[in-house]
Amino acid sequence: MIVTFSVANFRSFNEEETFSLVASNKLTGSHEHHLVSVPDSDASVLRAGILYGANGGGKSNFFKALHYVQTMALRPRKKGGGTGRQRFKFGGDEAAPSQFDLQFVAGDQLYRYGLIVDDERVVEEWLLTVQGSKEKPVFERFTDEDGGVTIESKASKKENERLRALMTVGGPQQQTFLATIRANLEPAHFGAPIRTVLEWFESKITFIKPDRPFWPVGVALSEDEGFQNFASEFLRASSTGVDNLEVSKEELSQEQLKVMLPADLYAKVIKNTERRGKVVVPLTKDREVLIEKIGEHRYFLLTVQSVHSHETSNAIRFDLAEESDGTKRLLNLLPALHRLHTDGGVFVIDEVERSMHPLLIHKFLEFFFAGCGGERRQLIVTTHESSLLDQNLLRRDEIWFAEKNKRGATKLYSLSEFQPRKDLKLDKHYLQGRFGAIPFLGDLDQIMKREAGDTSDMRVAET
């Protein structure tokens, strides 16, 4: 679970801004089932974080900053390709580094992982364990101006020989040490803390963008009967008109697969299959290619269809591409909801309201909270949807806002700073601008009047 995340000099973030899901001790008695204890601490972390803001306010940049940290932790960088960071461009020193600092719970330990990067180098990197007010380094990394990488670790003598050797080498200047470890060592040689952290970045935090599914639905439906039943039941209950989902699985020849995929993509997925044993390639919204290697390679085309009942009692089948945008968006989110109920982890969803009815989004969150139990499950979303501003659904410290100042820099702040009454209609006051983070439409009103020929409320230049 994410406890805090700080970012500076990245996209619309200039000075350091911190998003904190540490529960406020002033909100005793408010949705106590939303709290999870932080190991070795008296603090609790919240199960949800809802980030509001106007278009262009920086909500999606928060999503991208967090996703950038995951990418840097896991993926090797091409030589000469730099770090891929995107600095704040409205003033400041162009050479100033970007900074990221993430605290999260993995296993039964609170970790702190951070980066300082410029265009070419990971200047600093750190991984610490946190126990109360004490921090213990797992490793600290520094890169000098010539690109030399130094790794410092008090625990290095206790680690295995291969990890110690890699600490001596350091790795490429543009690449994190975590990504270097992952690319060069087997998990058995990572050491316990690093293995736990890499597993968390790989499988315990998932990002869902507005315009794409995070998980191939066809494979999930064909291999997990529990998910198929869950998805069909949820779609029926959501009044989508869908009674159930069906998936067909057709075996392909190697020649047929080569026709479907570009040559470079075909070569890549075959290589990945050698390493992973299974690779899925989405073709369209309702068709996927599954490539498995169990002895020899086998290739399958998966096609998903929705089934609707009809007054004639005949079942009518549709390709998913024929379904409404709202149904397709909901189906893209259901694997996240199902996994949060079965496996746990953190899901970060950008623009959760995309193509979905407000009542359905509300129910989506209700369902999430109802199924959390005592597990470490967390949902962080960005949204415009004001119906979620409901104190019967969320704690005040779970609601955050992103707003740009006059310099174009995003500022983050929590609703708990305003201390609203428990009976206050938050959605109404938000739309009235009481909490900020909404678009200012005064200039737009003037344009509309001018287009309509109404100049009664406009200044007329003197001649």
Domain ranges of the chain: 1-210+350-463, 213-334
Q: Sorting pLDDT into bands at 50, 70 and 90, what band is 155?
A: low
pLDDT greater than 80 at residue 276: no
The reported pLDDT for the residue numbered 420 is 61
CB 251 within 8 A of CB 296: no
More confident residue, 155 or 344: 344
Q: What is the pLDDT of residue 30?
A: 79
Q: What is the pLDDT of residue 60?
A: 93
CATH of domain 1-210+350-463: 3.40.50.300
pLDDT of residue 447: 43
Burial of 47 (0-12, 13-18, 19+ CB in 10 A): buried
452 band by pLDDT with thresholds 50, 70 and 90? low
Please choose, from the candidates 224, 265, 249, 248, the residue with its C-alpha nearest in 3D space to the C-alpha of residue 299: 249
| 229 vs 400: CA distance, rounded Å | 35
444 pLDDT more than 60: no
User: What pLDDT band is residue 83 in, cutting at 50, 70 and 90?
Assistant: very high
Banded pLDDT at 454 (limits 50, 70, 90): low
Sign of CA dihedral 255, 259, 260, 261: positive
Other CB atoms within 10 A of residue 57 CB: 24
What pTM was estimated for this model as a whole?
Answer: 0.84
Task: Name the residue with higher pLDDT: 111 or 365.
Answer: 111
Q: Given this model, what pLDDT does residue 182 score?
A: 94
pLDDT score recorded for residue 45: 96
Please give the pLDDT value at position 461: 39
pLDDT for residue 283? 77
% residues pLDDT > 90 (the chain): 39
Higher pLDDT, 443 or 408: 408
Q: Band of the pLDDT at 106, cuts 50, 70, 90?
A: very high
Question: How many Å apart are CA 394 and CA 48, to the nearest integer?
Answer: 8
Q: What is the pLDDT of residue 388?
A: 79
Strands 48-53, 399-404: pairing is parallel
| Residue 15, pLDDT score | 94
Section 346-352 average pLDDT: 91
Query: What confidence category does residue 370 fall into, taking pLDDT thresholds of 50, 70 and 90?
Result: confident
430: pLDDT strictly greater than 80: no
198 vs 230, which has greater pLDDT?
198
Query: Would you state the structure tokens that stand for residue 311, as one six-digit string?
Result: 């007054």
Mean pLDDT taken over the chain: 85
Q: Dig out the tokens for 100 from the structure.
A: 């990221």
